[in-house]
Structures are given as C-alpha cells and as structure tokens.
Chain A
Amino acid sequence: MNEAATYDLERKTRVQKIVRMVFLYTMLTLFAIFVLIPFYWMILSSLKTPEQIESVPPALWLRFSEMQFSNYYEAVFSVDSQPFLRYMYNTVIVAALSTAGTVITTVLSAFAFARLNFRFKELFFLLLIMTMMIPGEMFVITNFITVNQLGWVRPDQTYWDALMAMSIPFMTSIFYIFFLRQTFKTIPDELYYAAKVDGTKDFKYLWKVMIPIARPTIITITILNAMGTWNAYIWPQLVTSTRHGRLYHYQLVSNGLRNAFSAEFQPQIHLQMAAAFMVTLPILIVFFLLKKHIMRGVSRSGIKG
C-alpha cells in the first residue's frame, strides 16, 4: 500500500460514507412521507369545500383563507350529522370504566402471580398463556349471547345496560397481567422479606411498595387500554347496533365515525374527514403528551412476547 493508494482508499471511504448517509436519509424521509400522507390528506380534505374535494386534479394544499373551518362545526351540528359529542362522552365513560376495572384486576392478579405461592399456580399460569393464543372471536360469540341473556342488549336497552355491555367484558386482560407480572418480578425479593419482617401486610406492601415502583408500567397499561376503547369498533357495534332497532346514540366514536356522512352515492367527504380528524386528534394529543410511556411500553411488550 503506497501513499497514493492510501489516499485513494481514504477518499473512497469518505465518499462511500456520504453516499450511504444520503441513501439512509432519503429512504427514511420517503417512508416518513408515506406514513404522514394519510394524516395530511385527512386534514387537507377536512378543510376543503365540496367543490374543492371533487375538483380534478385535487389541490395538494390550501391557502389559509380557503380553509373551511366551518366543516368542523357542520360535522358536529348539521342535521344529518351523528351526535359526535355524545359519542365522545360515551367513549370516555366506557374507557374510564373498563380501564379502572382492568387496572384493578390486573394489579391484584399480577401481584398474586409475582409474589404469592399457591396451589395450581403453574398450571393456572400455563392455562392463561394458552388462552392468549386463542383468537378473540372465539369468545365474542358466547359473550354476545351472555350479554344478551344478562339483559344488557334488548330493544329497550337502557344507557346503563349499554355501558355494562361495552365495559364489563373488557375489565381484565391476560396480556396486561403478564406484562405487569414481569415488572413486579423485577422488584427484588429482599424488599418483600424486609417488609414481612417489619410486619407489613401483603396488601399494604402491594399498595405502598410494588405499585409505586411499577407505576410506569401501570400508566402504560392505562393509556394502552384507554386507547383501545377509543378505537374499539366491533364490539360496541354488535351490542348497541341500530340494526335490531336499538338506540344508536349509545355507540362509541368509531362507530359514529364509520356511519357519518357515508351515504352510498353522495358521501360528504369534507365532513367525513372533519369527523375522522376529530376522532384522531385526541389520541394524537395523548400520544404526544405521554410519548415516552407509550413507546417504551409498546417496545417492551414486544420484547417480552
């Protein structure tokens, strides 16, 4: 290797490095655009007039003065609009109920699995693992029958019935029990023994030591569960559907959204998109506020399997 060769090699590696970086950022930017486009198009369309929506080719952006913010007002209050505020209210209540239930049942049983010794523990745990592999549709069928037989789904369904039907079946989650048990397991045994020596009761130990330590995980579970309700479509549709003459304003946002302004031959796309963005925005806000918790939680849940 002589001087000139060395110089060439140096230059070649520098060039290679630059080319690589250009490639990396180009690809990442392209895919980032791909990810962002639906959001952009949703917002853009929600601010167009019906004429602008239909114009060919479509406008790729709007001047501020052209933006029809009134679409949002119309989407909520027009004659043929869905009662969105009502749906949001329903969704928040159902999310609160099912999340509170999930957190309580999850914390208690994760504690039992992580900390206590009891007969059939291994067996029960194995049963839970196997259950996780079974598609949820297997349960849905019987659950549908069950809520019917409990009288929660009737033609004269009350609001309370609907809330029960939508939240109670989702007040526990095997996956979250696992997730939290893993976190509880990382708390050293010595802490528990020390507490026992001091005569601390199990429940107090759980409340004063384990829950505070596992708080990030519990927050993650809370957020993910609440987001799950926000995005729930199938089950609410099933147990509050208008098909059998039930009252439709017990539904949740996703159901309301799907049925909004989508009459087959004249969908009102500008209003549809305004509604879609109104449903999307709250989760985006929650996401940006609690980004760390959510992203960490999701990536950890992936690793744990």
Chain B
Amino acid sequence: MLEQKHNIKAWIYLLPALVLLVVFTFYPIVNAFILVFMEGYRYIDGTWTGWTLTGNIRYVLNSQLFWDAMRNTLVIVFVSVPISVIISLFIAVWLNSIKRLQGTFQTIFFLPYVTNSIAIGMAFAVIFNRDFGLFNLILGLFSIDPINWVGTGASWGRAMTALMVFIVWNGLAFKIIVFLSGLQSIDKQYYDAARIDSASKRRVFLKITVPLLSPMIAFITITSFIGAFKEYTAVVGMFGENLNPGGGGRNMMITIVGLVYESLGQVYPGATSEAAAAAIILFFMTLLLTLFNMYISKKRVHY
C-alpha cells in the first residue's frame, strides 16, 4: 500500500503549482519560439500578419543597439564575474581562518544580499559623481584629477568601470556565504595532514583548499555567469531607465535583457517578436556557456 502509485492524489497536490507553471513558465517558453517566427505581431490584440523564418533574428542582429547590448553584457560577464569570484573566494578563506569578529564580518559581508539594487545603485551613482563624489575624492589623494564617471557625457569606459564596481559589490555576499559554508564543510583533517606534510600556506590554499572547493567554485561560477548575462536592474539603479550616464540620452549602457524590455515596451507591430528574438539569443548564449562550464568542470572539478 505504501509503495503504490497515488496518481490522482499526487496530481491534486501538484495542481496549483502546475497550473501556474503551465501558464506562466512552460507555455511562455514554447510561445517565445513561436513569436520569433511571427511577422507583425501586436500584443494589444494578438494579431499578426505572417510568418518568417529568420526575419526577427536578422532584424535584431542588424541593429546597432543589439551589438551595444552584446558588448556591454559580455564585458559585465567576463570582467565582473571572475573578479567577484576571486575576491569572494579570498574573503571567505580569510574569514574562515579567524575566530574573533568572524560573525560580525560575516554579517557585514552579507549586507549586499539584502539590499535593493535600485537604492544602492543610486548611492553608487552619487559616490561616482564627478564633483562631489567620494570616489574622486579618494583618487584626489593620489593626485588624480576628477573624472566624470557617471555624469552626462561620461565615456563608455568610465561608466562601465563604475558599473563594474557596483556589480562586483552586489555579487559578493552570495558568493562569500556559499564559499564559507563550503570551506567549513571541508574535513579539518586534510589541513592537519597538510601541516604534517610541511605545506606552506600558499600551497595549502592552491593544492588543498581550491581543489576541495572546486565543486562549489564551479557552481558559483556557472550561476554567476548566468546571472551576469541577465544583468539589467543594476544598470537601471545606477543610470536610470534610459540606461545612459547622466540619465538623459539613451541606452549607452544597455544589456541584452535591457534590449528585451526595450522592445517589450514598444507598441509597433513586431516589437514583441524582436524581444523574443533577443531573449532566445540570450537563452542560447547562457546555454552554451553552461554547457561549456559543465564540460570544463567535468574535467577539472574533483569528484
């Protein structure tokens, strides 16, 4: 009786979640792949004029905005993720080797996790202000003249640098806490053995800690890459809805997800299909990256 199948009962338990998932998750995934082949689709009344195989994708690939978004997204992914993974790994290792104040530091480092990206993004924008920002004040100590990081007319490189600092800040908390709990689950005996084996601190870190933590490093790297591909809120927080330094102008700091919402906000026929095309491109990029990561992890991650 215990092992029998409770088909009907089980599906009743699943029903509430299932209905929501079908409507708001499964169907949308399928529909995204339908939308991308539609021509002139209008979400207001659900009408469209015809079908196209590659029209929407081509349209997106041919727009300058897409390539701006691509450039920004890739920079965020490949610069901010490695930096924040490495920094948080070190912080976690340091945190793990102190006793006094460990709890206090842990709480402080967790704070970015429980904040509102918009609010903190706005604070960062003030910190990076050219005239009265803290950052330029600190640079001034090293006799560096004030730099326009995020104000009207700021260059792409500078705006990106400031954004990077914010995104790294924003991502530290989760990584640190996951690394720390990973470190705490490593058997202490390996460290005792390493001391007996006369390993230097550096070698203990490189030869024991990192390999034993590698499943967690792989996990964090994959999830952070995916997260960074979807970055958007941070940009809004720092640069406003227009995604541009100073709040005016348009879209210099746009990301792929930003592009999706940009298209989604348009009412002209076909805009929704362009959003779908951008989302699908994003999907395949994250998929590719995930597969690549999994392939690397298989080879490099221990056990």
Query: Which B3-24 residues have a C-beta within 8 angstroms of A?
Result: 3-7, 9-11, 13-18, 20-21, 23-24
CA distance A291 to B103 in the complex (A): 11
Number of chain B residues close to chain A: CB under 8 A: 109
Which residues of chain A are near B177, meaning CB under 8 Å? 295, 298-299, 302
Which residues of chain B are near A133, meaning CB under 8 Å? 226, 286-287, 290
Q: Does A12 contact B (CB under 8 A)?
A: no
Q: Does A76 contact B (CB under 8 A)?
A: no
Which residues of chain A are near B35, meaning CB under 8 Å? 141-142
Query: Which A136-187 residues have a C-beta within 8 angstroms of B?
Result: 136-146, 148-149, 168-169, 171-172, 174, 177
B-contact bits for A25-56, CB 8 A (1 contact / 0 none): 10110011011111101100100000001111
CA distance A119 to B8 in the complex (A): 10
Which residues of chain A are near B152, meaning CB under 8 Å? 264
Determine, out of B64-72, B114-122, B153-161, B204-212, the stretch whose residues face the partner at the interface.
B114-122
Q: Does B162 contact A (CB under 8 A)?
A: no
Query: Contact between B290 and A137 (Cβ–Cβ < 8 Å)?
Result: no
A34, A227, A243, A295: most-surrounded residue (chain B CB, <10 A): A295
CA distance A148 to B237 in the complex (A): 27
Which residues of chain B are near A111, meaning CB under 8 Å? 13
CA distance A42 to B237 in the complex (A): 13
CA distance A55 to B132 in the complex (A): 6
User: If A117-B3, A118-B5, A131-B25 touch, does A230 touch B182 (CB 8 Å cutoff)?
Assistant: no
Q: Does B253 contact A (CB under 8 A)?
A: no
Which residues of chain B are near A56, meaning CB under 8 Å? 131-132
Query: Contact between B20 and A58 (Cβ–Cβ < 8 Å)?
Result: no
Query: Contact between A174 and B5 (Cβ–Cβ < 8 Å)?
Result: no
Give the contacting residue for B233; candidates A101, A135, A233, A267; CB below 8 A: A233
Tell me the minimal C-beta distance from A181 to chain B in angstroms: 12
Q: Does A5 contact B (CB under 8 A)?
A: no
Which residues of chain A are near B113, meaning CB under 8 Å? 298
Query: Contact between B134 and A37 (Cβ–Cβ < 8 Å)?
Result: yes
Query: Contact between B279 and A116 (Cβ–Cβ < 8 Å)?
Result: no
Closest residue of chain A to B4 (Cβ to Cβ) is A117
Majority secondary structure of chain A interface residues (helix, strand, loop or mixed): helix
Closest residue of chain B to A57 (Cβ to Cβ) is B137
Give the contacting residue for A264; candidates B31, B44, B232, B246; CB below 8 A: B246
Q: Does A211 contact B (CB under 8 A)?
A: no
CA distance A257 to B95 in the complex (A): 35
Which residues of chain B are near A227, meaning CB under 8 Å? 114
Which residues of chain A are near B91, meaning CB under 8 Å? 27-28, 31
Q: Does B264 contact A (CB under 8 A)?
A: yes
A-contact bits for B171-192, CB 8 A (1 contact / 0 none): 0101001101110010000000
CA distance A100 to B71 in the complex (A): 40
Tell me the minimal C-beta distance from A213 to chain B in angstroms: 18
CA distance A57 to B126 in the complex (A): 13
Q: Does A4 contact B (CB under 8 A)?
A: no
Query: Contact between B111 and A39 (Cβ–Cβ < 8 Å)?
Result: yes
Q: Does A81 contact B (CB under 8 A)?
A: no
CA distance A302 to B18 in the complex (A): 25
Which residues of chain A are near B50, meaning CB under 8 Å? none
Give the contacting residue for B260; candidates A24, A58, A137, A149; CB below 8 A: A137
Closest residue of chain A to B247 (Cβ to Cβ) is A264
Query: Contact between B279 and A135 (Cβ–Cβ < 8 Å)?
Result: yes
Give the contacting residue for A257; candidates B106, B118, B124, B265; CB below 8 A: B118
Closest residue of chain B to A124 (Cβ to Cβ) is B14
Give the contacting residue for A291; candidates B13, B95, B107, B287; CB below 8 A: B107
Q: Does B78 contact A (CB under 8 A)?
A: no
Which residues of chain B are near A298, meaning CB under 8 Å? 110, 113, 174, 177-178
Give the contacting residue for A38; candidates B20, B123, B178, B264; CB below 8 A: B123
Query: Contact between A54 and B233 (Cβ–Cβ < 8 Å)?
Result: no
Which residues of chain A are near B108, meaning CB under 8 Å? 32, 35-36
Q: Does B109 contact A (CB under 8 A)?
A: yes
Tell me the minimal C-beta distance from A300 to chain B in angstroms: 8
Q: Does A112 contact B (CB under 8 A)?
A: yes
Query: Contact between A284 and B32 (Cβ–Cβ < 8 Å)?
Result: no
- 7 nearest CB pairs, A to B: A302-B178, A142-B28, A118-B10, A276-B119, A112-B13, A139-B28, A42-B123
What are 12 A-B residue pairs whose CB atoms fall within 8 Å in the complex?
Answer: A25-B98, A25-B101, A112-B10, A112-B14, A138-B282, A139-B25, A141-B260, A258-B118, A287-B110, A291-B107, A302-B219, A303-B185
Given contacts A24-B98, A31-B109, A287-B111, 5 further A-B contacts (CB under 8 A): A41-B127, A108-B16, A135-B226, A276-B119, A302-B177
